[in-house]
Amino acid sequence: MADQLTFDASALGNWTNETRFDVTRERLAAYAEATNDPIPAHRAGDVASPVFAIVPVFESLMEPALEVVPLSLIGRIVHGEQDFRFHRPIRPGDELVAKATMTGWRGKPNGTAACVYLTTHTAAGELVNEQYVTFFVRGFDTGDTVGEQAPEHAFDEQLRTRGSVAKVCQHVDDDQTFRYSPAAGDPMPIHLDEQVAKDAGLPGIIAHGLCTMAFTSWAALTELADADVTRLRRLAVRFAKPVLPGQDLTTEFWHADTTDGVSRYAYETTTDDAVVIKDGLAEITGA
């Protein structure tokens, strides 16, 4: 049966309908609180923390996959990678317009990686951010590579010989998922219901991957950008393993290079000696 399943290449490049999102100071502050973000401007809702950018596009995330991936495989989809390109921060009062399209896929023996590209503009047409979301369809290999894949951001292992430039230790609270879920608008039950999570083969409730990514974003800003979100141009990660509430995170950064005023930092996040975020990349101006 599985051999008869195929992805629908004819749906690649089809854009979803636009969705609109009104940004409020209260929503920005709630997201910062839910991700333990210590930066005052974020906590006050003066400007969005970087990973808040996922909230206005959330309704558009899965729609392209529903057109390309067979319905019987939708339950196997996990969020594999996330790549934000920031053109300017989100601020209270913004009316944002988001849309998405699937650009391609790449089959592998353990599953298939499929890329969704999303854009967020203001109602007036100003580009706010671009996002590449790589979904991974576990256990199904299409056997081919079709269309465009997400840009690479692999960790250069040679950087370890230089020594890291920053290391940040953080704690995931026991109630983190229950605070993050309403702030992000993400009701997935594996983050809220112990039995549902165990039925899915997990050890229990797991933290939202984007919540963990948000932790790494404020680590990068506080250590490398003087807590100034306007300096962050790109933030990309690969989700390697689930994070459990109550665990401690350690995020370590290595300086890769600086070109045309933009510094690139590779990073990874570990917990209990396991790597939970791989191939992290932060691009920061003015450093």
Residues 139 and 213 in one domain: no
State the pLDDT at residue 201: 87
State the pLDDT at residue 200: 85
Tokens representing 28? 């920005």
Mean pLDDT of the chain: 96
The closest alpha carbon to 39, from 30, 49, 27, belongs to 49
State the pLDDT at residue 203: 92
pLDDT in tens, 163-185: 999 999 999 999 999 999 999 99
Pick the more confident residue, 248 or 286.
248
Residues 16 and 114 in one domain: yes
Ramachandran bin of 125, using left for φ above 0, alpha for ψ from -120 to 50, beta for the remaining angles: left
pLDDT in tens, 45-77: 999 999 999 999 999 999 999 999 999 999 889
The closest alpha carbon to 139, from 279, 1, 278, 277, belongs to 1
Residues 159 and 53 in one domain: no
Residues 109 and 199 in one domain: no
State the pLDDT at residue 75: 86
Domain count, the chain: 2
Residues 58 and 20 in one domain: yes
Burial state string for 173-200 with b = 16 or more CB within 10 A and e = fewer than 16: eeebbebbbebbebeeebbbeeeebeee
